[in-house]
Amino acid sequence: MEKIKSLADLKKMQGDLRAKMELREKSNHPDSLIQVKVAMATCGIASGAKEVMEVFVEEFSKRNIEAVVTQTGCMGYCYAEPTVEITKPGCDPVTFGYVDVKKASKLIDKYILNNELVDGIIPVNYASIDKK
C-alpha cells in the first residue's frame, strides 16, 4: 500500500474511490436525479432488457450523467418489451416501449439530454396509488 503523503494524494484517492460509492450516494436522494427503471421480468429479460440496462449503466458513467438505474418487475406491457420508464426530476415518468440497445442510446441522446420525445411512448392508462 502506497502511503498518502499529502492532501493532494488523499483528494486524488477519494476521487477514485468515490466512483465505487456513487451507486449508494445516489440512492440517498433519488428524487433529484434522473431515474431509469428497466422492466426486468421474464418477458423483459427474454427480449433483451438486461443488455438494455447495461447500456444505460455504462453510458451514464461514460458521459458523467447523474442518474439512477434500477430494475422493476413486469409493467404489464409485455407486447412492447423491453420497456423502460424514465423519470426526470420534476417531470412525470414517461414509459418507452420496444427499447433495444440502439434505442437505449437514442433515449439518452434525445430524451434525457435534450428533452426530445422518442417513438414508442406508452401512454399512461392507469392511476398510481401514490397519487390518490
Partner 1 sequence: MAQIKYHILVCGGTGCRASQSEDILKNFQELIIDKGLGTEVQVVKTGCFGFCEKGPIVKMMPDNTFYTKVSPADCEEILNEHIIKGRKVTRLLYTDPETKEQVSDSKHMEFYKKQIRIALRNCGFINPENIEEYIGRDGYQALGKVLTELTPDATIDIIKKSGLRGRGGGGFPTGLKWEITRKVKADQKYVICNADEGDPGAFMDRSVLEGDPHSVLEAMAINGYCTGASKGLVYIRAEYPLAVERLKIAMRQAREFGLLGQNIMGTGFNFDVEIRYGAGAFVCGEETALIHSMEGKRGEPTVKPPFPSESGYLGKPSNVNNVETYANIPVIIIKGAEWFSAIGTEKSKGTKVFALAGKINNVGLIEVPMGITLREVIYEIGGGIKNDKKFKAVQTGGPSGGMLTEKHLDTPIDYDNLIAAGSMMGSGGMIVMDEDDCMVSMAKFYLQFTVEESCGKCSPCRIGNKRLFEILEKVTKGQGTLEDLDKLKNLSNVIKDTSLCGLGQTSPNPVLSSLMNFPDEYNEHVVSKKCRAGSCKSLMQYIIDPDNCIGCTLCARNCPVNAISGERKQPHIIDQEKCIKCGACMEKCKFNAIHIN
Q: Which residues bind partner 1 (CB under 8 A)?
A: 1, 3-7, 9-11, 13-14, 17-18, 20-21, 23-27, 30, 38-42, 44-45, 53-54, 57-58, 61, 68-73
User: Over the chain, what HEC string results?
Assistant: CCCCCCHHHHHHHHHHHHHHHHHHHHCCCHHHCEEEEEECCHHHHHCCHHHHHHHHHHHHHHHCCCEEEEEECCCCCHHHCCCEEEECCCCCCEEECCCCHHHHHHHHHHHHHHCCCCCCEECCCCCCHHHC
Which residue, 70 or 124, is less far from partner 1 as judged by CB?
Answer: 70
Which residue, 5 or 119, is less far from partner 1 as judged by CB?
Answer: 5
Which residue, 62 or 126, is less far from partner 1 as judged by CB?
Answer: 62
CB of 94 to partner 1, least distance (A): 19
CB of 41 to partner 1, least distance (A): 6
CB of 117 to partner 1, least distance (A): 25
Which residue, 70 or 116, is less far from partner 1 as judged by CB?
Answer: 70
CB of 78 to partner 1, least distance (A): 14
